[in-house]
Amino acid sequence: MFEPYVCTYQGDLLAGVDEVGRGPLAGDVVAAAVILDPLKPIEGLNDSKKLTEKKRDRLFDEIKERALSWCIARASVAEIDEINILQASLLAMRRAVEGLSVQPEFVLVDGNKIPKWTYAADAVVKGDARVAAISAGSILAKVARDREMVAFDKEYPGYGFAGHKGYPTKVHMAALDTLGVTAIHRRSFGPVKLKLEQMDMF
């Protein structure tokens, strides 16, 4: 079990940033940055994956209402295919921090890599479970991305995007085989790339 992260920065303009969607075969990678208001604490913040959908939805609204500043940003499927998923994830996080209406004095980034920027920052492994501001970012990013994938389920019926959110489940892989590749699939990802190669053979 991880201990809470102790940050050397002790001011109020601390931003946490996290991304969601590295593993899926489809959809953008989404990031969110949050500066929490110490005068308006939010109960129940945690790694978004450890929360129920109902709790995430409630916290999503509460974070946007009570935070000093927040921003949801992304890197597109085209950008993922062009620069790879790691660089796209870092790009999305950079855009989220740069999009904050209140500029942070220090940024804590989930993971072990820091985007290229001029902010004073630390990377925190498992930060979404150790730092409240990163937890808030993970919740905003996950809820925003999940809702987008539910909307794509209507646009691309038969793929099951509302259920698997683009991850390579058996349902998704079977749909890819029978229905083919959509405009929101990441062409640089192995299973999608393989399907495109198979289609070119016929």
Tens of pLDDT, residue by residue over 56-97, are: 999 999 999 999 999 999 999 999 999 999 999 999 999 999
Domain 14-154 indexed as CATH 3.30.465.10: no
Residue 1 has pLDDT above 90, yes or no: no
CA 97 to chain CA mean position, Å: 13
Res 186: pLDDT: 98
CA 135 to chain CA mean position, Å: 11
Q: How confident is the model at residue 105 (pLDDT cuts 50, 70, 90)?
A: very high
Residue 146 has pLDDT above 50, yes or no: yes
- Order of strands, edge to edge, in the sheet holding 69-75? 69-75, 29-35, 14-20, 106-110, 121-124
Rounded CA-CA distance 48/79 in Å is: 25
Per-domain boundaries in the chain = 14-154
